[in-house]
Structure 1
Amino acid sequence: MDISQGPGSVLRHPGYLNFAASRVFSSLSFQSIGIAMGWMIYDQTHSAFALGLVGLCQFLPMAALTFVVGHVADRFDRRRIGLVCQLIEAVTALVLAVATWQQWLTPAGILAAVTVLGAVVAFERPTMAALLPNIVPASMLQKAVATSTSLMQTALIVGPSLGGLLYGLHPVAPFAISALLFAVASFNVISIRMQWSPAKREPVTLASVFAGVSFIRSRPVMLGTISLDLFAVLLGGATALLPMFASDILHAGPWGLGFLRAAPAVGALAMSIALARRPLSSNVGRKMLAAVAVFGVATIVFSLSTNIALSVVALFVVGASDTVSVVVRSSLVQLLTPDEMRGRVSAVNSLFIGTSNQLGEFESGMMAAVLGPVATGVVGGLGTIVVVALWMRLFPDLTKVKTLKG
């Protein structure tokens, strides 16, 4: 099939619509309860340290489970793993709804729920990523990734806004609605039609457990791409401090936080739609490096802004530039990895992403407690630009990547 066809051709592919629906509803729910938990914990504590702990509690289970996750995803039906994960998320959201209704939910309870969700997401995300190549052929993969990204970013736009709106109506609402949407996601994941069965799985050995790490280390382009995203987002993670910016600098309420959280997703959606219609076809490596540098600059602008309109625009650019890196990284990981290794490689990739996102939130919270949110964001943006310059020297093959063809 011609990869130049529109994104509609991907959505019509057997099994892909269920796959996309499962990921979208799961992400929509996760973002909705995330905005509610973030606002609740900051409202109760007024602590940057507490916001940082939210990221740490998501990261630690992911770090502990990474190598188990990879082998599970490579040995069992990936659809069933997704089903179990999303059902557990539905139950967790329901428990949060009841706890909020009964006024039991304390900061410790929120962090406990975040830890459970972090453990479940550690299984769900790499498993779903490894499932995609069993649904569409390699010739459609970049378009499938870009289309999936655009749909996910739509969920990231709607999710925070929905969470803020529902929380404003009643604190129980975002958790109850999310529980329902997680259940819808679980129905879709088990309904996915696969075009071919995964390859025969190898027996469990110590070497096979850590094979994902060895595989990535042996491929400089993959290692450079994944590690670039890790350090760029780890340093440039000012978005983890959005409750502080919304409350203390921009003087906006939950609605303002919802707009700020949605802005990067709007930018990412716009870019992913563009990439779905016109996939990157030349100088892919250089375009990715340039996009990460733009990400750093936009982070600095956001951090220095005291105007909510400018802040939203800067976050729009943050999301758009980050999406270029996401599509390139995701496509390379799937195209360069054989199916029998995809679970383990995707798990390691997910650990890198989790390190940059969740550990980045913890790092930003710790820095903000000392330097304040503005200085933290500026230092992070400058660090991202420095990382791009270093990676051009450490991984020169990145600049030589021309296309993303299977």
Structure 2
Amino acid sequence: MDKPAYDPFAAMRIREYRNLMMGRFLFIMGLRMMGTLVGWWIYELTNDPFAIGLIGLSEVIPAVSLSLYAGHIIDISEKRKLLLRGVTLYLVCALFLLLLSTSYTTEQLSKHWIAFSIYIIIFFTGIIRAFTGPTFGTMVASIVPRDLLQNATTWNQGIWLSASVTGHATVGFLIALIGNTGSLAVISTLVFIGFMFMFQIKPKPSLNEKGEKKTMESVKEGLSFVFKTKELLGALSLDLFAVLFGGAVAMIPVFAKDILKTGPIGFGWLNAASDIGSILIVILLTAFPLKRQQGKKLLLAVAGFGVCIIIFAFSRLFWLSFAVLMLSGMLDGISMIIRGTIVQLKTPDQMRGRVMSVNSMFINSSNELGQFESGVAAKLLGVIPSVVFGGCMTLLVVATTWFKAPSLRKMEY
């Protein structure tokens, strides 16, 4: 009997999954626009690369501190209600930033107090993200049957990347056309429409009883599972250190303004470059999924990412900088899909909240830690040497993982 033909749209044929993905696209697009705008805004206010790094620190402290507790709460909570509550609170933060950007506020407050207020708002988004980010991952597995999880994970990554590239590119144009206030009004609208899509999803009750385990016992169980599952731990650790040291994106406002001499539109495209590359590779992998040697391909992709970051640091040509960032995004897209599939396939349903929170702590927060590391390194070494250092450290991490984690290198699914 012939095997049925592979259907690249299998997961998207499920209505609830489509609503989740549409809502996530608009929500992530709004958040990426907000993150890009805040980086540009802070650099305009302070003209200090280190101030950009402090944005990441402001968000990562609450996000990491609450991640494990958030995983426990997600596992014992009704997922839809938790997700909608988080999206609503994000909308409130966007509206506060909107108020802060108005001409009335800028007349009443000094640049110092505006910057300080931005950091406070971003701190609160870090608290919200600790709960909201992992909930998206648990919702995927609660809607899609297990045999479609690889396809759903690829779509999930593709939607996230599509939203990122659209948000990064669009906000540069918006800042140029309608300023920070108009851009934040658009961001708030996008988050609200995303909420309406997610509102249509049916409730997703917990598979755990609330009184089944104490909080600390539950948290330890999630951590223990991750550390015992070597392929999962290896993939998460590799991405953590690669993004921590290899994230050149945090310094793009400096490269755009002071080195490549481009305005907000060029800044937006440089921010979008890696995501453009990622979405191109995700489209390709949706139609032609990776069949063999996924572990080895993961390591090679991260090594290539490090090389791209080094080339970006030395580039003085806009087109070359854009090209290597786009290539780095293609390689990052490969690693994201492999890692995301490993997480979904290796995690039991009743532990998804805790494992997704550990995943969030390793992966998502590494972006903000990387942003802070980039700011500190730029302060100590200078902008260009700090980016070169980050790319070299990424290569060192890959070489270490290659020899120290043979189970990951040999892994296939």
Percent identity for Structure 1 against Structure 2: 36
In structure 2, distance between residues paired with 1:238 and 1:217: 29
1:377 shift after superposition:
1.1
Q: Is residue 231–residue 387 contact of structure 1 (8 Å, CA) maintained in 2? A: yes
1:351 shift after superposition:
0.4
In structure 1, distance between residues paired with 2:214 and 2:173: 47
Structure 2 letter corresponding to 1:161 = A
In structure 2, distance between residues paired with 1:48 and 1:265: 22
In structure 2, distance between residues paired with 1:288 and 1:4: 27
TM-score, L = length of structure 2: 0.94
SS, match of residue 384 in structure 2 = helix
In structure 2, distance between residues paired with 1:306 and 1:314: 12
SS, match of residue 103 in structure 1 = helix
1:386 shift after superposition:
1.1
SS, match of residue 338 in structure 2 = helix
In structure 2, distance between residues paired with 1:159 and 1:207: 40
1:58 shift after superposition:
1.1
In structure 1, distance between residues paired with 2:205 and 2:293: 34
Structure 2 letter corresponding to 1:219 = T
Tell me if 1:192 matches 2:194: no
TM-score, L = length of structure 1: 0.95
Count, aligned residues = 401
Q: Is residue 135–residue 193 contact of structure 1 (8 Å, CA) maintained in 2? A: no
1:8 shift after superposition:
2.5
Structure 2 letter corresponding to 1:76 = S
In structure 1, distance between residues paired with 2:124 and 2:329: 27
Residue 121 (structure 1) aligned to one of 98, 121, 129: 129
Structure 2 letter corresponding to 1:91 = V
Residue 230 (structure 1) aligned to one of 240, 248, 251: 240
1:370 shift after superposition:
1.6
1:210 shift after superposition:
2.2
Spell out, residue by residue over 1:149-208, the C-alpha distance to the aligned partner (whole angstroms, 9 max, x if none). Answer: 1122111111022212222222211111111111112222232247x8652343334221
Which residue is 1:103 aligned to?
A: 105
Structure 2 letter corresponding to 1:74 = D
Which residue is 2:82 aligned to?
A: 81
1:7 shift after superposition:
3.2
Spell out, residue by residue over 1:311-348, the C-alpha distance to the aligned partner (whole angstroms, 9 max, x if none). Answer: 01111011111111111111111111111101001101
Which residue is 1:174 aligned to?
A: 183
1:3 shift after superposition:
9.1
Which residue is 1:369 aligned to?
A: 379
Q: Is residue 82–residue 127 contact of structure 1 (8 Å, CA) maintained in 2? A: yes
1:212 shift after superposition:
1.5
Spell out, residue by residue over 1:275-294, the C-alpha distance to the aligned partner (whole angstroms, 9 max, x if none). Answer: 11111110010011110011
Identify if the C-alpha distance between structure 1 residues 164 and 4 changes in structure 2 by more than 3 Å, giving closer, same or farther: farther
Which residue is 2:302 aligned to?
A: 292
In structure 1, distance between residues paired with 2:354 and 2:315: 41
In structure 2, distance between residues paired with 1:3 and 1:389: 40
In structure 2, distance between residues paired with 1:301 and 1:88: 40
Residue 161 (structure 1) aligned to one of 159, 169, 172: 169
1:5 shift after superposition:
3.0
In structure 2, distance between residues paired with 1:205 and 1:113: 28
Q: Is residue 65–residue 119 contact of structure 1 (8 Å, CA) maintained in 2? A: yes
SS, match of residue 110 in structure 1 = helix
Q: Is residue 75–residue 208 contact of structure 2 (8 Å, CA) maintained in 1? A: no
198-207 vs 300-309, which deviates more? 198-207
Q: Is residue 3–residue 139 contact of structure 1 (8 Å, CA) maintained in 2? A: no
Which residue is 2:47 aligned to?
A: 46
Residue 303 (structure 1) aligned to one of 297, 313, 316: 313
SS, match of residue 274 in structure 1 = helix
In structure 2, distance between residues paired with 1:370 and 1:334: 40
Structure 2 letter corresponding to 1:260 = L
Tell me if 1:266 matches 2:267: no
1:355 shift after superposition:
3.5
Structure 1 letter corresponding to 2:247 = G
Identify if the C-alpha distance between structure 1 residues 205 and 32 changes in structure 2 by more than 3 Å, giving closer, same or farther: closer
Structure 2 letter corresponding to 1:364 = S
